[in-house]
């Protein structure tokens, strides 16, 4: 065991146990910036939810076109879109939508909030999932500097949950697109948060989560010199295992849960 792992285990052993995520919802909308964002941590939870018959829709602000240095954006975008759709299918998600904001330079503001609010009105989720909107995010108990895209999309997603329910914010969504206000988002779940409060048992969905990350093979191959499957398994199992001490010893996906 490394000194870092030992320190992390000691930290987790002194932290309170996490509550299970609430189950009184049927539809979820997961809003992130790029292809592969949901596969670094969330997909095992998604597999569990779809097994239970719940509906999960993926909404991505970009097509990840700036994510691979060796591929021009025009070539990269359709490839990463295909990989994301294949990845989502591994965990039972068939609805994957892209907003076509510019990868790497997403701007927080009314345009992004409007696009996400439109999706909230269209899909009417009770649970909205996003990644950390703060300057830092957490993986395996360690803190990392966040990217501007994740900050912008996370913040806009949280704001859009309220925007979608107010008929006087973006009234054109109703007048021009027939998207009536939806004020039914009850829970906001933030993945990668340093302030996790809840967890989902990842055991049943772990293998599918590994395959889901592996579906981003072109992207994964530029991230690591390891065997892609070994890398994906290490990441997914490592994250779920690191959460186990705070969830009764069970591998888990962590969320900071906010109620509306």
Average pLDDT in the chain:
93
Look at residue 136 in the predicted model and tell me its pLDDT: 85
**Total domains in the fold of the chain:** 1
Residue-wise pLDDT for 70-127, tens only, equals 999 999 999 999 999 999 999 999 999 999 999 999 999 999 999 999 999 999 999 9
Does some domain include residue 4? no
Does some domain include residue 232? yes
pLDDT of 138 > 50? The answer is: yes
In which domain, by residue range, is 169 found?
Answer: 24-259
Does some domain include residue 239? yes
Residue-wise pLDDT for 5-34, tens only, equals 444 444 445 678 999 999 999 999 999 999
Residue-wise pLDDT for 227-246, tens only, equals 999 999 999 999 999 999 99
Look at residue 14 in the predicted model and tell me its pLDDT: 62
Nearest partner of 87 among 231, 220, 204, judged by Cα:
220
pLDDT band at residue 2 using 50, 70 and 90 as cut-offs: very low
Share of the chain above pLDDT 70, in %: 94
How confident is the model over 180-188, as a mean pLDDT?
98
What residues contact 101, with CB distance under 8 A and at least 6 apart? 61, 62, 107, 112, 115
Does some domain include residue 16? no
Look at residue 135 in the predicted model and tell me its pLDDT: 85
Poorest-confidence range of 40-49, 65-74, 141-150, 210-219? 141-150
Instruction: Supply the CATH number for residue 141's domain.
Output: 3.40.50.10320
Look at residue 167 in the predicted model and tell me its pLDDT: 97
- Whether residue 17 contacts residue 199, with contact meaning beta carbons closer than 8 Å, is answered with no
Does some domain include residue 209? yes
Look at residue 258 in the predicted model and tell me its pLDDT: 96
Q: pTM of the full predicted structure?
A: 0.92
pLDDT of 141 > 80? The answer is: no
Does some domain include residue 234? yes
pLDDT band at residue 209 using 50, 70 and 90 as cut-offs: very high
Does some domain include residue 39? yes
Does some domain include residue 166? yes
């Amino acid at each position: 065991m490394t000194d870092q792992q030992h320190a992390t285990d000691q930290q987790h052993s002194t932290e309170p146990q996490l509550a299970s995520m609430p189950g009184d919802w049927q539809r979820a909308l997961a809003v992130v910036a790029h292809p592969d964002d949901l596969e670094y941590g969330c997909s095992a939870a998604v597999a569990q939810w779809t097994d239970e018959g719940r509906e999960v829709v993926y909404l991505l602000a970009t097509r990840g076109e700036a994510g691979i240095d060796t591929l021009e954006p025009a070539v990269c975008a359709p490839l990463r879109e295909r990989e994301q759709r294949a990845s989502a299918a591994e965990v039972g998600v068939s609805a994957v939508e892209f907003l076509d904001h510019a990868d790497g330079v997403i701007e927080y503001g009314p345009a992004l909030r409007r696009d996400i609010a439109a999706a909230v009105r269209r899909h009417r989720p009770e649970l909205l999932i996003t990644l950390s909107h703060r300057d830092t995010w957490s993986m395996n108990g360690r803190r990392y500097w966040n990217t501007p895209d994740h900050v912008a999309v996370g913040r806009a997603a949280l704001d859009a949950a309220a925007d979608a329910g107010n008929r006087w914010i973006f009234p054109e969504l109703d007048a021009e697109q027939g998207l009536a206000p939806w004020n039914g988002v009850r829970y906001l779940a933030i993945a990668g948060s340093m302030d996790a409060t809840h967890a989902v048992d990842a055991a049943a969905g772990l293998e599918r989560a590994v395959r889901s990350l592996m579906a981003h093979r072109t992207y994964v191959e530029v991230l690591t010199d390891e065997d892609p499957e070994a890398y994906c398994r290490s990441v997914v199992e490592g994250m779920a295992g690191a959460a186990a001490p705070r969830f009764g010893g069970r591998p888990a996906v962590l969320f900071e849960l906010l109620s509306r």
